[in-house]
Amino acid sequence: MRVKIRKGDTVEVISGRLEDKGKRGEVINVMMKENRVVVQGVGIRTKHQRQVQTQAGRNVNPGRIQFEGPIDISNVMLVCPKCNEAARVRIQRDEAGAHRVCKSCEQLID
């Protein structure tokens, strides 16, 4: 099972939509079941919003709302915080649990 990408990680988009390729951003949500992630600034979708009133009585302005849509987890690669490369990681297990190790610089990520 893929548990190599977690919320808060920085990832680089390696495939998928052309306009997103090469972009880096922070993972803001991981949807394990769907194998999808939401990455800040990536997979931007536009929703057309009509003027609505929320339960709190505030008006939400009509117009276009841009938000990040989920993208396939296989389209992103973890950016190693140690060497700043989009790197493959391997899992190393010891008494303390499972740790991620960057295959590029061999440093422990966490």
- Exposure pattern of 74-101 as b/e (b: 16+ CB <10 Å)? ebbbbbbeeeeebbebeeeeeeeeeebb
Binds Zn ion (CB under 5 A): choice among 28, 86, 89, 105: 105
CB of 100 to Zn ion, least distance (A): 10
Check binding of 101 to Zn ion (CB under 5 A): no
- Residue 9 CB: number of other CB atoms within 10 A? 21
* Chosen residue from 17, 23, 82, 99 binding Zn ion by CB under 5 A: 82
Among 71, 78, 80, 101, binds Zn ion (CB under 5 A): 80
How far is it between the farthest Cα atoms of the chain? 55
Question: Pairing state of beta strands 63-68 and 44-49?
Answer: antiparallel
102 touching Zn ion, by CB under 5 A: yes
Query: Which of 31, 65, 83, 91 is in the footprint of Zn ion by CB under 5 A?
Result: 83
**Site residues (vs Zn ion, CB under 5 A):** 80, 82-83, 87, 102, 104-105
